[in-house]
Amino acid sequence: MKDSLPGGLTKDRLPELLVPHACLRESLALLVMRILFGLALWFSGYSHLTHYDMMVKRFTDWGVPLPGLNVYISGITECGGGLLLLFGIATRLISIPLFFNFVVAYVTASRSKLVQMIAGPGHWDGVADVVNDDAMPFLAMSLIAFAFGPGKISVDYILKRILGGSSSRHPD
């Protein structure tokens, strides 16, 4: 009985017990990710729009072209994208402009970190700075949302079921 696990389970039966629940675990993880990042994005975008003058100054200092216009674009993308993520609406679609929003954040606000990582004498310090940048979690979340979609606990999934979408492993 050396292959026995707690509760009398055997190693042979363990995959059978875990696999049926993998889709539920994935959907719950995606739901939690969407809620946390959706709220964070909404608050960030709302802050852009309600503190417009301060954000225009910051965008100007970062060298963002047309800072006034880009504060609105970034704020609306983050605010609207956050709400869409929160409910799982057009998840893969909104992840594309969100991804580019945070790439622009790196190229402008974090340019010195990128230069340090690529061409600086302390490359690893630059890598650490890029990885620890405020934009990194949002950039990663955008990629995850694009790759995996919203999961089954989302408006996207419900609409797909109602409208008769295809049944694949990731029906989102």
pLDDT score of 50 more than 60? yes
Residue 95 CA to residue 101 CA, distance in Å, equals 10
Residue 91 CA to residue 156 CA, distance in Å, equals 7
**Per-residue model confidence (pLDDT) at position 20:** 60
Task: Report the 10 Å Cβ neighbour count for 127.
Answer: 14
pLDDT score of 169 more than 60? no
Residue range 35-43: mean pLDDT, rounded: 97
Q: Would you list the DSSP string of 80-92?
A: HHHHHHHHTSSHH
- Residue 96, C-beta contacts closer than 8 angstroms, at least 6 positions apart: 142, 146
pLDDT score of 40 more than 60? yes
Task: Report the 10 Å Cβ neighbour count for 74.
Answer: 23
**Per-residue model confidence (pLDDT) at position 131:** 87
For the chain, give the percent of residues with pLDDT over 70: 83
Rg value, the chain, Cα:
21
**Per-residue model confidence (pLDDT) at position 1:** 47
* Banded model confidence at residue 82, pLDDT cuts 50, 70, 90: very high
